[in-house]
Structure 1
Amino acid sequence: MGSGNVQVIQYLVDTRPLWPKATKTKDLENEASRALALLTDEEKTKVLRYYFVADAKMSLASHLLKHWVVARYAGVSWWDTKLTRDEKTKPVYVDPTTGRQPVAFNVSHQAGLVALVAVAGYSASGEAEGEGRGGSEVDIGTDVVCTSERRTRDHRVIDTEGWAKFVDMHADVFGRSEARYLKGGDLLSTQPGSLPSLARAQEIVDFKLRCFYALWCLREAYVKMTGDALLAPWLKDLEFRRFRAPAPGTRDGFGGDGGDGGDGDGDEGREQEVITDHEVLFRGERVTDVNICLRSLGEDYMTCTAVRTPARKEDALGWKLGPFAFLDMETVLGDAEARLG
């Protein structure tokens, strides 16, 4: 998607069908040799260090997407997409000539899906790309969650300890009012159309878990946007008030083409709910400078993107976030190899 010279990029890669003959992480050295050859030695080591091959696949795709978005949208050769870390240790690409970040990006992965969000070509001053102040003028973060990945474990804990105890186990990363809201009676009454009137106990628990993971997704995207970790000292000062979980999609919604690497709507036509109106407080003050989009994807997944432009808040607030397009790994590899330089 673009507005003028600004492009807002949102892609998903489904790693579950990739490299099917790799049943162990070490198998990727042969089965994914083409992809691994595009990483630095340090990145390859990180990928192959994972115990579970599913985690290694997501790590491999994440590394590739970060280089791919820089190569494609900053217009540099593949081996010139050298990534560094900013003062908050967030991965960034800084143009060595201008000192600018021509592409601000972030990635997330869970349960086989890897999400990439980025903004390219933005300048708060309106100057041509390559001019103006150094550093990033865009803060962006994303998260993807799967409500069913740990369903058996979650239900077991809730059946044994109770819902309130389950929430309290994670309360350290929630805002002051959020855990109370999750545990309180208002949770069910303030989520319109979310449960049938004669919902069974298990359906109620699944709904509460969906709310829990929706909040997690919102907070994670916001925190990643700022560049801080979930252990940031101000976590309790951030509060999403009476947040709402998007309804599950009625179709699985995976396997969209997105294969041309363009900016088309790769999940177009899939039924999903999108929530963009959020009441967010930081240290008691309403947050009005962040564009936050929470959306369902299929029955079990949710994605969230959070973006802001500190110098001109109205710019980010005016950008449309989503839907994500599915990107084929063959497209990524083909683009990378064409840009090896």
Structure 2
Amino acid sequence: MASDSVQVIQYLVDTRPLWPKATKTKDLENEAARALALLTDEEKTKVLRYYFVADAKMSLTSHLLKHWVVARYANVPWWDTKLTRDDKTKPVYVDPTTGKQPVAFNVSHQAGLVALVAVAGYSTTKENGETGKGEEVNIGTDIVCTSERRTRDHRVIDTEGWGKFVDMHADVFGRGEARYLKGDLLSTQPGLPSLARGDEITDFKLRCFYTLWCLREAYVKMTGDALLAPWLRDLEFRRFRAPVGGLEFGQVREEEEGREGEVVMDQEVWFRGERVVDARIVMRSLGEDYMTCTAVRTPVRKEDALGWKVGPFEFLEMETVLGDAEARLG
């Protein structure tokens, strides 16, 4: 059976107000020196290689969160949170003494927000009473912002048409998904006002488009494969719908869940013509423009992950991350 101490972890960091005096990436060497000091030399180089400072801040935060979740939830000293890559090149932490992964994690970032999802404390118990390896849990996440590329998207759609816009991205969708986006979308998706016209219709189509993108990205990241996986077009989401935007952007208490946006979990996953029920997939909106998806599965006992509560996300302050890290430097 599954461990009773399982924790499903979901955090968001808003990097937009961080290190405000850094107007160029190179400025982070001084303005974010405290944070950069917590990374390896290789990670620092990757962060400072970004041309735009906004991208560098998201990269810096992503690196910190991966180490932070291992340090905190696996109780590992900061400099012992050495990350490696599994056979699918996905970043992982493997306990050198047990060979297990005490924390499975994934990160995503878009338009200034960085999302971290993780599962800690999961194990399976075999018939002989032995505890199985913690890596028998897979997790993936994605975050999208429907307004970040709105001007560009509208320009392409106005010039080339909606069908051409979808075709430009058809290689990352399932065979039936592109047809659906170009055909039955408006007649089957709820939420479009009856009197909607022009840009309002285009925005609705784009919200559905990015919902499907987010679902697929989170699921594929959960499996550990890239968007160029040979089976990618055999994967198809059906009966999905775009979550309604929220009333506010910010931290919402669990009992108030819904004010930040709608949560949707009734989409269907199909693979090569057969329905697959192997993962807990939670799609949610965050305020008006952002949407996140988390996908988690436990391959040995799929019912474990299917029963977990996933969310809501909690906003995490950078000062908390840095303080925790520095306390674990040893």
- SS of 1:222 mapped into structure 2: helix
Paired with 2:109 and 2:255, the residues of 1 have a C-alpha distance of 18
Q: CA deviation at 1:189?
A: 2.1
Task: State the distance in 2 between where 1:23 and 1:179 align.
Answer: 40
Q: CA RMSD in A?
A: 1.7
Q: Distance in 2 between matches of 1:269 and 1:151?
A: 25
Distance in 1 (alpha carbons) for counterparts of 2:210 and 2:100: 35
Following superposition, the deviation at residue 89 of structure 1 comes to 0.2
Letter in 2 for 1:250: L
- Tell me whether 1:274 sits opposite 2:263 in the alignment: yes
Change (3 A) 1:3 1:249: farther
Q: Measure the CA separation in 1 of the matches of 2:73 and 2:305.
A: 18
Whole-Å Cα distance in 2 between the matches of residues 135 and 296 of structure 1?
30
User: Residues 1-341 of structure 1 correspond to what in structure 2 (within 5 A)?
Assistant: 4-125=4-125, 132-134=131-133, 136-184=135-183, 186-192=184-190, 194-251=191-248, 253-254=249-250, 256=251, 265=254, 268=257, 270-341=259-330
Does structure 2 conserve the Cα–Cα contact (< 8 Å) formed by 1:267 and 1:326? no
Give the letter for the 2:13 counterpart: V
1:125 Cα deviation after fit: 1.4
Contiguous gaps of at least 5 residues in structure 1: 258-263
Deviation per residue, 1:116-139 (Å, 9 max, x gap): 000000002179xxx734461100
Answer whether contact 1:266 1:325 (CA < 8 A) is retained. no
Distance in 2 between residues matched to 1:98 and 1:54, nearest whole Å: 38
Aligned length: 327
Are 1:274 and 1:295, in contact at CA under 8 Å, matched by a contact in 2? yes
Runs of 4+ in 1 over 6 A off after TM superposition: none
Distance in 1, matches of 2:3 and 2:181, equals 38
CA contact (8 A) 1:267 1:325 kept: no
Aligned identity (percent) is: 84
Which residue identity is paired with 2:225?
D
CA distance in 1, matches of 2:256, 2:53: 27
Whole-angstrom distance in 1 between the partners of 2:38 and 2:126: 35
2:124 and 2:132 in contact (8 A); partners too: no
The TM-score with structure 2 as length reference comes to: 0.96
Give me the TM-score of the superposition, normalised by structure 1: 0.93
Kindly indicate whether the alpha-carbon contact (under 8 Å) linking 1:14 and 1:114 is maintained by their aligned counterparts in 2. yes
Change in 2 beyond 3 A, CA 1:328/1:268: farther
Read off the aligned partner of 1:189 and give its amino acid letter. Answer: S
Separation (CA, whole Å) in 2 of partners of 1:333 and 1:15: 14
Q: Distance in 2 between matches of 1:82 and 1:109?
A: 22
Aligned-partner residue type, residue 155 of structure 2: R
Contact 1:267 1:324 in 2 (8 A): no
2:157 and 2:211 map into 1 onto residues whose CA distance is: 18
The answer to whether the 8 Å contact 2:141/2:218 transfers is yes
Whether the aligned pair in 2 keeps the contact of 1:266 and 1:324 (CA below 8 Å) is no
State the AA in 1 paired with 2:186: L
Distance 1:82 1:276, change over 3 A: same
Pairwise CA distance, 1:268: 4.6
Q: Partner of 2:261: helix, strand, or coil? A: coil
